[in-house]
Structure 1
Amino acid sequence: MTFRTIGIDLAIRGDHLAQIYDDGRPNGRAIRFRHDQPSLAAFVQTAVMGLRADDHIQAIMEPTGMSWFPVAHHPSCRCWRHRGSRQGKTGQSSTPLPFRTRQNGYG
């Protein structure tokens, strides 16, 4: 069983960057993608490539403005929103909040 993590650096302008890690080890080069449907579909296809039904996949991204919205609402995604504490602020919730769920077949 593989545990795949994808770190996504969202950009407000320009291309987003994603890096895939399988069991904590980098897998390939960084992937560039944009918000348009063909680019998102190609990114998701690359993200799940080589996975079996019993493998797990998660993507981690910081909610930069509204840049996270198209990625989180892709039909194959199951997402949680995490409200973390900002530096210098206290009293923030650290409990993952269910945002939108869709079974993607990988977890």
Structure 2
Amino acid sequence: MQALRADMFEEICPSSVLPFRIGADKWAGMVLRCLEDGPRRYSELRVPLARISPKMLTQSLRALERDGFVARTAYERRVSYELTALGRSLLEPIRGLCEWAEEHWDELLDARES
């Protein structure tokens, strides 16, 4: 499994202006995308999600776990997070929302600025 890239989500990313929420907050979709290729440790998630405060990332992960999208596994010296079958079933709709946001990027920005 490849390491997550720090530039996985640009600072001005369509995901951050989507008018839709998955789970409890605007970061949940990005967290799910980070878990797409398999389990990740918290420190690995921090790399592409550096704009999210540690507190907010923890809250997002807890909410995703509570809602059944993410499973948390505690080992002796580490914790990992991975998608459940329910969480994996959201990946295709998330891709669709990302494509929609890219198509309507200018309109979304104009609406936010007005």
TM-score (norm: length of structure 2): 0.30
Bigger RCO (CA 8 Å, 6+ sep): 2
Q: Which has the higher helix share?
A: 2
TM-score (norm: length of structure 1): 0.31
Q: Which has the higher strand share?
A: 1
